[in-house]
């Protein structure tokens, strides 16, 4: 009997700890094995309950983040109800005072949003460990109840690096990177999570140079970067075109034969695409064994933005045929395809893809899809069709669409639609100097100088600020 418990518990431990990025959820299988244990009257020990409660937490998180409506609220209720059932069994058997089990239950209720239940359990624990305090404080931060979190933090008898990391995470979540940095600088000790939180915070507020500087400091301090670190840094490299740094990261991963899959693979692929090195992007893409929708999208959009339209259409077809259709295109995929159509002026093809998106995949077009179509139609002279599309768009605030049409009217010389676009923009938002100057220049080209003077006077009266144009280049100063 003892060997049976040992084998099953070991399996529970493994399954409860793994959730793969391709969508397979081993924590759910751990719950299935636990149910089989109960049906088979296999005696459980405290380790069994610790692992199965963790499996409930991870299963709930997996279902919540799976997206696209695959699981409804009823399924989520079943998962945390299962956790509550296990809690009752723990009390009945007498494992409710086991520290690991207590912390696993705290974590479960916190992740399920049942913070009041978690707090009730926390208050009943006689000898609260540092882990218990940290879980409870994180639970309050997760629901933005910072006042309760601060009170607990003040009452905490001792703080460890996790406690400080929780506080950094809170400030990062609020976008207050300066406050996070003050905590970071005062920490008696730091771990990889501390650095990761700060780097992610800089990326969150678009301080990409700051993120790269922190990454350099992290390496100087001898802290080994984790996958989370590299994902954030590759994201920063993608935004500012720091191809050399991104390439060095890739070389280091290849040197240590690190498996490039999942989020890391997507980050590397996205970096190469945004930096314009499509040959290396292809290398990463083809080397990934498990390609998620995000992976396909990154490659399709990268090709589309750089004008490789035929490759986009071929890759889209390959995506539809791959793995018997288990990887389905989403709204972002079709934005990439429509951008490719726009580059070549393939109006009929774009219409077909828009129709295909709605009819086959039941994806309702959002403002970005409309934006792609309006841009395509406008740039290729179909202004009336673009105008009708904007009028029929199911969006109350479509200033971006009217701006697109207004710019095209200047190029195509359509004064009537330009005036309509300008008036519609005025209803939606405070007009910029760009909109005024576009219409003013059209009036000037038509010799309607009274209208030019009227617009200039209106700009002065409304104090519309004018922005000077500028260019940005990177210079390597020797």
Domain ranges across the chain: 1-140, 291-364, 381-467
Q: What is the DSSP letter of 322?
A: G
Tokens found for residue 363? 């994806």
All residues at 6 or more sequence positions from 162 whose CB lies less than 8 Å from its CB, including other chains: 130, 131, 134, 193
Nearest to 46 by CA among 1, 104, 132: 104
Dihedral pair phi/psi, residue 308, rounded to 5°: -90, 75
* pLDDT at residue 195, as a whole number: 95
Q: What pTM was estimated for this model as a whole?
A: 0.72
**CB–CB of 337/372 below 8 Å?**
no
In terms of Cα–Cα distance, which of 255, 317, 251, 261 is closest to 290?
Answer: 261
> So what's the pLDDT on residue 323?
59
SS3 292: coil
Q: How far apart are CA 180 and CA 200, in angstroms?
A: 11
Phi, psi of 464 (to 5 degrees): -75, 120
At residue 339, the pLDDT reads 95
- The sign of the CA dihedral 459, 462, 463, 465 is negative
Handedness of CA 465, 466, 471, 476 (dihedral sign): negative
Going by C-alpha positions, the residue among 52, 62, 46 that lies closest to residue 111 is 62
Q: List Cβ neighbours of 11 (8 Å cut-off, separation of 6 or more).
A: 30, 33
Under 8 Å between Cβ of 281 and 299:
yes
The radius of gyration computed from the CA coordinates of the chain, to the nearest angstrom, equals 28
pLDDT for position 72 = 54
User: Tens digit of pLDDT per residue, the chain (478 long)?
Assistant: 444 445 444 544 443 444 433 333 467 777 788 888 888 877 777 788 888 888 888 888 777 765 434 445 666 777 778 888 888 888 888 888 888 888 999 989 888 888 999 999 999 988 888 899 989 998 888 888 888 888 888 888 888 888 889 889 888 988 899 999 999 998 988 999 999 999 999 999 999 999 999 999 999 999 999 999 999 999 999 999 999 999 999 999 999 989 899 899 999 999 999 999 999 999 999 999 888 899 999 999 999 999 999 999 999 999 988 756 678 899 999 999 999 999 888 999 999 999 999 999 999 999 999 999 999 998 888 999 999 999 888 876 688 888 888 888 888 888 888 888 888 888 877 777 778 787 888 888 888 888 888 888 877 767 666 666 555 555 554 3
Residues in contact with 28: Cβ distance below 8 Å, sequence separation at least 6, in sequence order: 55, 59, 62
Residues 224 and 191 sit within 8 Å (Cβ to Cβ): no
Apex CA 48: angle with CA 43 and CA 52, to 5°? 125
Angstrom distance (rounded) from CA 60 to CA 79: 6
Q: Rounded to whole angstroms, how far apart are CA atoms 243 and 250?
A: 10
- Work out the angle between the directed axes of helices 433-445 and 415-428 (0-180°, nearest 10): 160
- The answer to whether 265 and 284 have CB atoms below 8 angstroms apart is yes
- For residue 128, give the DSSP letter: -
Q: What pLDDT was estimated at residue 443?
A: 82
- 449 vs 443: CA distance, rounded Å: 7
Residues 6+ apart with CB under 8 A from 317: none
Q: In angstroms, rounded to a whole number, what is the distance separating the alpha carbons of residues 179 and 102?
A: 32
Residue that the structure tokens 């990391």 belong to: 165
Report the C-alpha gap between 405 and 312 in whole angstroms. 26
Encoding tokens for residue 123?
């208050």
According to CATH, what is the number of the domain 381-467?
1.25.40
| Under 8 Å between Cβ of 312 and 345 | no
pLDDT computed for residue 264 by the predictor: 93
Alpha-carbon span 205 to 175, nearest angstrom: 6
């Amino acid at each position: 009997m003892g060997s049976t418990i040992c084998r099953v518990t070991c399996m529970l431990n493994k399954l409860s700890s793994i959730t793969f990025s391709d969508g397979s959820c081993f924590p759910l299988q751990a719950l299935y094995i636990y149910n089989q244990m109960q049906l088979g009257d296999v005696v459980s020990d405290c380790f069994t309950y610790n692992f199965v409660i963790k499996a409930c937490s991870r299963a709930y998180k997996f279902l919540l983040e799976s997206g696209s409506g695959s699981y409804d609220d009823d399924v989520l209720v079943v998962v945390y109800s299962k956790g509550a059932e296990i809690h009752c069994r723990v009390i009945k058997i007498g494992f409710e005072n086991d520290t690991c089990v207590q912390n696993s239950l705290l974590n479960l209720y916190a992740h399920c949003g049942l913070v009041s239940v978690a707090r009730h359990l926390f208050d009943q624990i006689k000898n609260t460990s540092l882990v218990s305090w940290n879980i409870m404080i994180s639970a309050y931060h997760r629901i933005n109840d910072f006042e309760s979190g601060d009170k607990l933090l003040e009452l905490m008898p001792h703080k460890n690096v996790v406690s400080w990391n929780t506080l950094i995470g809170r400030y990062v979540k609020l976008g207050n990177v300066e406050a996070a940095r003050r905590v970071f600088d005062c920490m008696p000790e730091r771990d990889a999570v501390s650095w990761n939180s700060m780097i992610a915070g800089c990326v969150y507020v678009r301080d990409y140079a700051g993120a790269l500087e922190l990454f350099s400091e992290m390496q100087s301090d001898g802290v080994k970067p984790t996958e989370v670190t590299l994902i954030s840094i590759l994201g920063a490299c993608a935004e500012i075109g720091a191809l050399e740094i991104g390439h060095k990261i890739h070389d280091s991963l290849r040197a240590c034969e690190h498996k490039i899959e999942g989020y890391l693979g997507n980050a590397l692929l996205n970096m190469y695409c945004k930096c314009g090195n499509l040959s290396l992007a292809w290398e990463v893409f083809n080397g990934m064994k498990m390609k998620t929708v995000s992976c396909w999208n990154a490659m399709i959009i990268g090709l589309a933005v750089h004008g490789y339209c035929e490759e986009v259409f071929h890759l889209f077809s390959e995506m539809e045929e791959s793995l018997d259709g288990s990887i389905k295109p989403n709204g972002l995929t079709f934005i990439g395809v429509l951008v490719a159509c726009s580059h070549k002026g393939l109006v009929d093809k774009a219409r077909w893809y828009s129709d295909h998106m709605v009819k086959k995949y039941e994806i309702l077009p959002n403002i970005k899809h409309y934006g792609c179509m309006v841009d395509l139609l406008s740039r290729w002279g179909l202004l009336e069709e673009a105008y009708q599309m904007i009028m029929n768009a199911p969006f109350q605030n479509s200033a971006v669409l009217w701006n697109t049409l207004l710019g095209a009217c200047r190029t195509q010389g359509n004064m009537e639609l330009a005036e309509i676009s300008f008036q519609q923009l005025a209803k939606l938002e405070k007009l910029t100097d760009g909109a005024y100057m576009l219409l003013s220049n059209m009036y000037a080209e038509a010799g309607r100088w009274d209208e030019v003077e009227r617009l200039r006077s209106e700009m002065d009266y409304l104090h519309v600020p004018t922005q000077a144009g500028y260019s940005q280049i990177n210079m390597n100063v020797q």
